[in-house]
Structure 1
Amino acid sequence: MVLRAGTRVATTTADVVWLDDVTKVYAGRVRALDGVTVGFARGSFTAVMGPSGSGKSTLLHCAAALDLPTGGRVVLAGQEVGALREPKLTAVRRRHVGFVFQSFNLVDALSVWDNVLLPQRFAGVRPDKAWAREVLERVGLGGRERSRPGELSGGQQQRVALARALAGRPEVIFGDEPTGALDLSTGREVLGLLRGFVDAHAATVVMVTHDPAAAAWADRVVFLADGRLAGELAAPTAQQVAARMTELTR
């Protein structure tokens, strides 16, 4: 979908997530998002970039239904999230969304296996253990099911977080700087895994990043500045992304 600021457009079945003229205001004064309209299609990998304070994390939180917009609409997996109340909103997130964050957010007292299955158990659904084992194999952690997070490296912990996000077969995976705490080699491996799941399973990934090299793994990059859309790049290269970011920070 072509994006534009402040223009209402019709969502399509290809969009797993759709933001329509979304505004988010904090404390009655700080306008973190200002009329953002953008869709994220099935089977696509989108990176979201912009200068500090541009609204990247706010966009991610609104798109993932972690926060509600002040104005406009957010449609997630066919549900308009502003029309939902808890616990229905929580149920939609648990059924359709996976999260991968910079800080891993693992439970230290639980094993790798229990961390991976935790969201499904919270959701009250029967875990697909065969798929969970396959996911752990794919992220290179087969045989480490009984390990605790403290026994793993940072890269391995992020792999657990990725396996946890994928174990419920979500339609969309949101990543907030998922490689920000990793070294270059491990970060590439995690990005390769995300890219692979998009290509093999038609998953949708929306990833906030500050790294042009990470953004180059995506199908497109959406840029924000001062809470507004500031263009996009399709099939981006790291050099193109870096040049665009330089323009936005001048």
Structure 2
Amino acid sequence: MVKETTRSTDVVELDGVSRTYPGGTAVRALRDVTVSFGAGTFTAVMGPSGSGKSTLLHCAAGLDRPTTGRVRLAGTDIASVREPKLTRIRRAHVGFVFQSFNLIDSLTVWQNVLLPRRLAGKRPDRRWAREVVHRVGLTGREHHRPVQLSGGQQQRVALARALAARPDVIFGDEPTGALDLGTGREVLALLRQSVDEFGAAVVMVTHDPAAAAWADRVVFLADGRLAGELAAPDVDQVTARMTALTAAGVR
């Protein structure tokens, strides 16, 4: 499961990013985080509960705005870009795979897969979409609706939808969290394939050391700060690092 990839251009760069949520007691979810993610690389983001994992992903993807710092996505500084330009940038460069699948129940598999390109006002590449549907094992189910599919099949649709738009980066937020062990492994293999064969960057938030071991590196967060990283991780290394971080937070 350990991969050899060549890091190339950084697709996503966070430079000194902090994110504070106002309220009675302000919550500092991220604190001066600087990290980058290159094309053709698979990065897992891990940390104890409340460490800022999802906030990092949302800021990197342009779904949330940093309080301070810069975020560059495919060469564009998006921290101060306003909607709808930011939406256009996301549609052009980003794919998403979430734990909850986020499929449109009234659409077929095929319609869900083509949706991002259509929302972007671009003609879908049907030949490529058919190839992606085949690669994720959904040939013959193109006209099914999500309710007719298993959870693993729905996650395959979500991944096909992300890949069909040819994104520079795919963000996954616990993409295997709702799946059984075998199905989760299949989805991770497909994410791995999207890096190795399609050259995308994959950034995946996970709590599972076994899932993280599919990545080229693991970036750790604790209390909103970077807390180190592991290259070519294995399950034991990731588990040991997570155990240490969790124990340090309890004290």
TM-score band by shorter chain is over 0.9
Please state if 1:79 is matched with 2:76: yes
Cα distance in 2, alignment partners of residues 223 and 86 from structure 1? 31
Question: Residues 187 and 13 from structure 1, CA distance in 2 versus in 1: closer, same or farther, beyond 3 angstroms?
Answer: closer
* Runs of at least 5 residues in structure 1 that lack an aligned partner in the other structure: 1-11
TM-score, normalised relative to structure 2: 0.94
Q: Which residue of 2 aligns with 1:238?
A: 235
Please state if 1:17 is matched with 2:26: no
Percent identical residues: 74
Please state if 1:27 is matched with 2:22: yes
Q: Which residue of 1 aligns with 2:212?
A: 215
Aligned with 1:84: secondary structure? coil
Question: Residues 222 and 137 from structure 1, CA distance in 2 versus in 1: closer, same or farther, beyond 3 angstroms?
Answer: same
Q: How does 1:180-191 map to 2 (within 5 A)?
A: 180-191=177-188
What letter matches 2:167 in structure 1?
Answer: P
Please state if 1:115 is matched with 2:107: no
- Detail structure 1 runs of 4+ shifted over 3 Å in the superposition: none
Deviates more, 1:223-232 or 1:21-30: 21-30
Cα shift readout 1:197-248 (whole Å, capped 9, x = no counterpart)? 1001211000000000000000000000000000000000011000000000
Cα distance in 1, alignment partners of residues 8 and 237 from structure 2? 30
Deviation, structure 1 residue 83: 3.0
Of 50, 54, 67 in structure 2, the residue corresponding to residue 53 of structure 1 is 50
Cα shift readout 1:166-219 (whole Å, capped 9, x = no counterpart)? 000000000000000000000000000110110012110000000000000000
Deviation, structure 1 residue 13: 7.0
Of 154, 160, 163 in structure 1, the residue corresponding to residue 160 of structure 2 is 163
Aligned with 1:83: secondary structure? coil
Cα shift readout 1:73-121 (whole Å, capped 9, x = no counterpart)? 0000000002311111000000000000000001111100001111111
Cα distance in 2, alignment partners of residues 83 and 60 from structure 1? 17
Cα distance in 1, alignment partners of residues 32 and 67 from structure 2? 10
What letter matches 1:115 in structure 2?
Answer: N
Deviation, structure 1 residue 151: 0.4
What letter matches 1:55 in structure 2?
Answer: G
CA RMSD in angstroms comes to 1.0
Aligned residues: 239
Aligned with 1:239: secondary structure? helix
